[in-house]
Amino acid sequence: MKYELPQALVGRCEEETYRRWLDRKAAAHKRRDRGRGNSSASKEAYKIAIHTAVQRDGLLDAYTGRPLRWDLIGKYDNETSKLRGRHYKHELGDLPTVDHVGNGLGPPDFRICAWRTNDAKNDLSYAEFVELCKAVVAHAG
């Protein structure tokens, strides 16, 4: 099978759930990058790059080193999110998600991180994100 469940995820999520997650993430990032002007973006190339990132980053957030909750993939519910708002989002904070390395205009390059990390990082480069984190820590004393 082309996109087998990475060994590190065995027992943490179902293979079919992983494949659906991979397909949805690749489609979403391809759509976004096409909208930004990357006419060469292809779903298959994105699936390969995301799957490679999962194999490399595995169980830990690529930026924080904290554990990811692979058991949460495929569980997000839009209606529950609307009803519960930030409390629901907080509960899913360790949900694995895909972060672009770069601006999405070149070949696909991704890291796997928690939803809360990706939300905090937003469109910052890695270096910009690290500087922001340092400023937060310095300000917090």
Q: Has residue 107 been placed in a domain?
A: yes
What total of structural domains would you count in the chain? 1
| pLDDT band at residue 1 using 50, 70 and 90 as cut-offs | low
54-107 per-position pLDDT tens digit: 999 989 999 999 999 999 999 988 899 999 989 988 999 999 999 998 888 989
Q: Has residue 11 been placed in a domain?
A: yes
**Structural domain boundaries enclosing 112:** 7-140
3-47 per-position pLDDT tens digit: 999 999 999 999 999 999 999 999 999 999 999 999 999 999 999
Q: Has residue 2 been placed in a domain?
A: no
Q: Has residue 1 been placed in a domain?
A: no
101-137 per-position pLDDT tens digit: 888 898 999 999 999 999 999 989 999 999 999 999 9
The dihedral sign for the CA sequence 117, 47, 101, 41? negative
Do 113 and 129 meet the contact criterion of CB atoms below 8 Å apart?
A: no
> What is this structure's pTM?
0.91
Q: Has residue 67 been placed in a domain?
A: yes
106: tokens are 């070149």
How far, in Å, CA of 88 to CA of 34, rounded?
30
Q: What are the Cα distances from residue 95, in Å, to 1, 87, 99, 106?
A: 25, 14, 13, 26
Q: Has residue 15 been placed in a domain?
A: yes
Predicted confidence at residue 77, as pLDDT, reads 87
Q: Has residue 52 been placed in a domain?
A: yes
Q: Has residue 28 been placed in a domain?
A: yes
